[in-house]
Amino acid sequence: MKRDFLTIPDLKVEELRKLLQRAAALKAGRASTPQILQGKTVALVFQKPSMRTRVAFEVAVLELGGAVIYLGQEDIQLGRREAVKDVARVLSRYVHGIVLRTFGHANAEEFAKHATVPVINGLSDLVHPCQALADVMTMQEAFGRLQGLKAAYIGDGNNVLHSLIEACARLGVSVAVAAPKGYAPNAAIWKAAKWEASRHGASLELAADPKQVVRGADVIYTDVWVSMGQEPERAKRLRAFKGYQLNAALLKLAKPGCKVLHCLPAHRGEEITDDVMEGPPSLVVDQAENRLHAHKALLEFLIGSSQQSAHSSQQKHT
Ligand code: CP
Ligand code: NVA
């Protein structure tokens, strides 16, 4: 049975923990990466631009011994030139795994439903689970543990935050979120993550005041105020997020030794200042690097160990 990775809850907590351990081991042993994707091909189907997700997946597949095909919006025109289910079924006959970056999360679900090979969500409007793997991996590296850490998130209740709270809740990291009115995280994701947090000795809190949430924080996280696809709302969003900038004054209120995370790309001067991006607490480049190692562990888990063949028509007829 193929496994997909569309959201963090697609992994059992134990699988998530093991994946993070494996990512750390693959990082430490990068020079001798196991060639577990030899003879296998992974397709990247991206409807939005990307640097980290695309390059980290391409390099991960290549270092694992596999081949990779990148298909941008103009190549496939998902849902426009061809129905999502047709692309999913046909691509599954060619390749052994698919990384999809799309708009509506329902597209990712529809794609995964019809694909017969593992589908990885490389970002949808709702969640960004691959990012969250690297985020918690970076926290683990910085503090040597996850359980009991306190993270603060300032800004938009968006895809990056949704996956972050889903991962943190399962790993015992408390998250306090400061978001302006109208930009709180998705209520269903929040409720489910709050329940997971309580089961794992952590908590989730939502406030309006950034100063309130950064007090006692080990990590402060922020993301852009205008996500891909929201460009028409830019002026309105810039007004709404005024006062939600991660700057030196806000950072001063956190614990000494507090670290700064950002999924990147960053809009310096909007959600984060240049000095905070460049300052010693900033782990943003390590965090971006960790995408590579986390992706490798994920590919190994979903594709490397599976006996799944891309050629399902042959299987059916023999
Ligand atoms: N953080 C992240 O997903 O970056 P890209 O959009 O460049 O892939
Ligand atoms: N929230 C951002 C994340 C980019 C990696 C977006 O969706 O554009």
Nearest atom within ligand 2 for CA of residue 227: 8
Looking at residue 76, its pLDDT comes to: 87
Looking at residue 79, its pLDDT comes to: 82
Kindly report, residue by residue over 249-260, the tens digit of the pLDDT.
999 999 999 999
Mind listing the domains of the chain with CATH numbers?
Answer: 8-125+291-316 (3.40.50.1370), 131-282 (3.40.50.1370)
Residue 272 in 3-state DSSP? strand
Q: Report the separation in Å between the CA atom of 238 and the middle of ligand 2, taken as the mean of its atom positions.
A: 16
Q: Is the pLDDT of residue 78 over 60?
A: yes
| Ligand 1 and 53: CB distance under 6 A | yes
Contact by Cβ (8 Å): 170, 164:
no
Kindly report, residue by residue over 159-202, the tens digit of the pLDDT.
999 999 999 999 999 999 999 999 999 999 999 999 999 999 99
| Ligand 1 and 284: CB distance under 6 A | no
Catalytic residue among 52, 54, 96, 101: 101
Kindly report, residue by residue over 83-93, the tens digit of the pLDDT.
999 999 999 99
Question: pTM for this structure?
Answer: 0.96
Tokens standing for residue 77: 């025109």
Q: Report the separation in Å between the CA atom of 260 and the middle of ligand 1, taken as the mean of its atom positions.
A: 17
CA distance 51 to 34: 25
Kindly report, residue by residue over 1-32, the tens digit of the pLDDT.
999 999 999 999 999 999 999 999 999 999 99
Catalytic residue list contains 291: yes
Q: Look at ligand 2, atom 2, and give the residue with the nearest C-alpha.
A: 227
| Residue burial 43-77, b: 16+ Cβ < 10 Å; e: rest | bbbbbbebebbbebbbebbebbebebbebbeeebe
| Ligand 2 and 156: CB distance under 6 A | no
CA distance 267 to 20: 29
Q: Is the pLDDT of residue 124 over 70?
A: yes
| Ligand 2 and 53: CB distance under 6 A | no
Tokens standing for residue 37: 């994707």
Task: Read off the pLDDT band of 306 (50, 70, 90).
Answer: low
Average pLDDT, the chain: 95
Q: Is the pLDDT of residue 238 over 60?
A: yes
| Ligand 1 and 131: CB distance under 6 A | yes
Q: Report the separation in Å between the CA atom of 53 and the middle of ligand 1, taken as the mean of its atom positions.
A: 5
Catalytic residue list contains 75: no
